Chains A and B, each alone.
Chain A
Amino acid sequence: MIQIVKKGEISKKQKILIHLSALFLALLTASLFILLMDHNPLKVYFSMIQGAFGTTYRLSETIIKTIPLVITSLGIALAFRMKFWNIGAEGQIIMGAFGASWFALSFPHLPSWLLLPLMALGGFVGGGLWALIPAFFRARFRTNETIFTLMLNYIALKWITYLQNGPWKDPGALGFPKIPNFDEHAVLPRLFGIHIGWLIALVLVILSALFINKTKKGYEIQVIGESENTARYAGINVPGTILTTIFLSGALCGLTGMIEASAINKTLSVEITGGVGYTAIITAWLANLKEPLIVIVSFLFAAMIQGSSYIQMAFQIPQSAAEILQGLILFFILGSEFFIRYRIHFRRNPAKGGS
């Protein structure tokens, strides 16, 4: 007979050990899979590492993939701190990118020093307002934000599809449904070989950490997250704080959209997010919603994505196989959370029950 028993508080060391053994088991299981495909698992893993960090170019690719993950995770973490389950980052990124693109396409001749801040503002407000819709309904009518934010993702996506086939269609693209590329002025500059988004991300990490841990607003957010009743009792304006916080959460995601549109895609398209809005939920959660950890987890995640896209080419492994690898690692790490909270107890020799 198997019994599941709740564990007490466990030490940090044990926690790390459990996570590491999960990673090890994930790689072990994935090895079987790689063996089935007639490859040497050790070699494959080694080239994954090489693919992510091997050359300056690859390393910079990894960092470029880290940036949107970090900023989006910050936004999600902010909402999660308040136990507002914002899984609408995907849509907020898109609407942020839309806001930024509107400035980029409407005022292409403005100088960079003016246009880029305007685009950032567009991204900030676009993402923020999009998140404000579910926040309003939650604060006013207590709707379920999980479903609401998720559904808004699809609406945002279809909105871009509409733009790209209709009003914003590039006349110069020979009938191909795409939105025109941005002007040079609308592209983020580079610093040390990587677009300046990395600096923005780092600044935002520090600001977020300060905001949540040191300010009164941050304190209120944490109180609400723990118990809305307590917050009301302490005289905190609960609906108002929900609205502000979720606006900020969406605004951070919107900034991701602006950075991706400006620095990477140089236009607006339906592929703007690359699924970052969903991946960032995982990174934010694995980082325990702590800002410094978000940087580390996002970087490791980006390395995994980058590494597995490299082995696709190096070993001619189909993309889906690389995704299985990713999935396995995730499955084991998330699954290991169970063993952090519970322990399994095997009972020998169960006597007969009843009479």
Chain B
Amino acid sequence: MSQSTPPSETLIRTKNLTKRFGRVLANDAINFKVKRGEIYALLGENGAGKSTLMNMLSGVYTPDEGEIRVHGKKVFFRSPEDSIRCGIGMIYQHFKLIEVMTALENIIIGRREDLLISTSGIRRRVMEIAKRYGLPLDPDKKVYDMSVGEKQTVEIMKVLYRGADILILDEPTAVLTPQETHNLFSILRRMKDEGCGVIIITHKLHEVMEISDWVTVLRKGQNVGNVKTSETSHKKLADLMVGRSLDLSIEHVHMEHKSPALEVRDLTLTDHEHVNKISSLSFTLFSGEILGVAGISGSGQKELCEAMAGLYPVHSGDIVYKGESIVGLSSREIIDKGITMSFIPEDRLGMGLVASMDLTDNVILKDYYQSPGLFVDRKSAQEKTVKIIKDFNIQTPGPHHPVKLLSGGNIQKVLLGREIMSRPHLLITAYPTRGLDIASSYLIYDYINREKKKGTPILYVGEDLDVLLELCDRIMVLCDGKATGIVDADQTTKETLGLLMAGETLDSIERMAHDSDR
């Protein structure tokens, strides 16, 4: 890092940067620059080309056309190694740390030239850097003892130690609680003051407004706007991202008659290593209610949904549906009871849809066996598919188009369309809008609300707290497999949810509030 350069120096400038994957133009002549001492938000929906652009800057991809200039010098990265040598450090969403090593060991690992330097010398240098940027770092703590936020700090330290003065963070807040996010943002502001350039990739608008100085919006591989954060708004950014004007409110349906539909009693789920994934969880789901489930990813949401669908063994406890236990039933028996689960795992096509099959074959996935005879009844299936395509406005050349060739939003609509067409008695849905563009997400919320109006009980596992607060009636917060609280959505705040996600209980939060009052 050279301190002598003036603060307004341009760190990175790209000119007509272009990258193609097959026929897809992932980045189309992107012009973009990063100046010293400023935070840039790179905003765009999934598939807009954010990751492609960042991967070119960090040397993972090589551009097809165009050039990158770093510190005014034209560069050509052949590997991430080249990029880091130019002072660009990338922090990925998934940490690349070695669990059994300490923070310090993780920071210096893989740097051969440092083997000859004394450990105490390295330690001093690391701590100097940490102090300068205000990073709370315990160099001797093992990674497996660290919280997600601490791990992220180590990752940031790693690239700073290698001399990076340009930091790229890929969706850094996706795995953080609101409090951890707050800490991260103060670190980023400190780095900005120290003269670094920071790029943060995100699709959360309120974070963009909070932290960035400039926003670059990508849409369909093109740079559709570089705007100053202070001169823009939520709405303007969303419109830029989508390309047209949007109504950003989610309807909240009020239902009168509520009766208990599903009761989970003292449920405990363990994985094959006997680790508790869900511990003594109890809750009731009412008809005509959307019960939201919040929590950092991996807090047991997946296991809970799978257990309710008969796909995960129940260790102890009971799941009672309409007075009858469904524990131990096969997934087909549960499907026959009208309980449907549309689980959207990380990889959208992993469960629920068959990627290479066409729409029709996907629509029949859960009821093909009900038709009489040996053969699959594809004729009535096709009629049903055509109806789903029409009702859900799915963009497809026809009912015999492979689903994997559809866009993310349309794939999701096929899945949700099938589940809703089956007239479910209970709908379990997890991350149904993950990876969807804004417009499609709102359509999905509409469909879920429409089901609610019919009186269907709905379990909605989500990650965006704003959405959970608006859409759901009650929210259950999971932390490490335990319910830290079930709260009414209209009587709680994001901060409370955040504390619950971090493992606080409602009692301890109240006590804290009480203490601060005094």
| Residues in A whose Cβ lies below 8 Å from that of B311 | 232-233
Residues in A neighbouring B86, C-beta threshold 8 A:
354-355
A321 to nearest B CB, angstroms?
Answer: 41
The smallest C-beta distance from B357 to any residue of chain A, in angstroms, reads 7
Distance in Å from the Cβ of A210 to the closest Cβ of chain B? 9
Residue A175 is within 8 A (CB to CB) of chain B in the complex: no
Count the A-B residue pairs with Cβ separation under 8 angstroms: how many?
94
A218 to B368, CA, bound (A): 12
Q: A1-35 vs B: 1/0 string, CB under 8 Å?
A: 10101111100000000000000000000000000
Q: A215 in the interface, Cβ–Cβ < 8 Å?
A: yes
CB closest residue in chain A, given B79 = A353
Residues of chain A within 8 A of B366, CB atoms compared: 234-235
Answer yes or no: A167 CB below 8 A from chain B CBs.
no
The answer to whether the Cβ of A214 comes within 8 Å of any Cβ in the partner chain is yes
A234–B365 CB distance below 8 A: yes
Pairwise interchain contact B375-A215, C-beta atoms closer than 8 A: yes
A216→B77 contact, CB < 8 A: no
Interface-centre pick from A9, A222, A232, A351 (highest chain B CB count, 10 A): A232
Contacts of A8 in B (CB 8 A): 22-24
Q: Judge whether B75 and A354 touch: CB under 8 Å.
A: yes
Instruction: List residues of chain B with CB within 8 A of the CB of A146.
Output: none
Residue of A nearest to B87 (CB): A355
- Chain A residues with CB below 8 A from B64, complex form: 345
With A7-B22, A215-B376, A219-B368 known as contacts, the answer to whether A351 contacts B76 (CB < 8 A) is yes
Q: Is the CB of B85 within 8 A of A230?
A: no
Q: How large is the interface on B (under 10, 10 to 19, 20 to 34, 35 or more residues)?
A: 35 or more
Tell me the complex Cα distance, A205–B52, Å. 46
Question: Of the 9-residue stretches B214-222, B274-282, B348-356, which lies at the interface with chain A?
Answer: B348-356
Shortest Cβ gap from B475 to chain A (Å) = 26
A224 closest partner in B (C-beta): B354
Q: Does A348 contact B (CB under 8 A)?
A: no
Q: Would A353 and B351 count as touching, CB distance under 8 A? A: no
- A172 interface contact, C-beta 8 A: no
User: How many residues from A make CB contacts under 8 Å with B?
Assistant: 30
B24 touches A216 (CB 8 A): no
> Which residues on B sit within 8 Å (CB–CB) of A355?
70-71, 73, 75, 85-86
Contact status B76-A230, CB under 8 Å: no
- Decide yes or no whether B8 CB sits under 8 A from chain A: no
Contacts of A9 in B (CB 8 A): 22-23, 405
Q: Which residues of B contact A227 (CB under 8 A)?
A: 349-351, 354-355
A351 to B368, CA, bound (A): 58
B358 → A minimal CB distance (Å): 11
Interface residues of B in 42-99 (CB under 8 A from A): 62, 64, 70-71, 73-78, 82, 85-86
Can you list 17 residue pairs at the A/B interface with Cβ under 8 Å? A3-B62, A214-B375, A214-B376, A219-B364, A222-B357, A223-B354, A223-B357, A226-B355, A229-B351, A230-B354, A233-B351, A233-B352, A235-B335, A345-B64, A351-B75, A353-B82, A354-B82
Q: Which residues of B contact A (CB under 8 A)?
A: 20-24, 62, 64, 70-71, 73-78, 82, 85-86, 309, 311, 330-332, 335, 341, 343, 349-357, 361, 364-366, 368-369, 374-376, 405
Other A-B pairs, 18, CB within 8 Å; known A219-B364, A350-B76? A3-B62, A5-B22, A6-B22, A8-B24, A222-B354, A222-B357, A232-B311, A233-B331, A233-B351, A233-B352, A235-B330, A235-B331, A235-B332, A235-B335, A235-B366, A351-B76, A353-B77, A353-B82
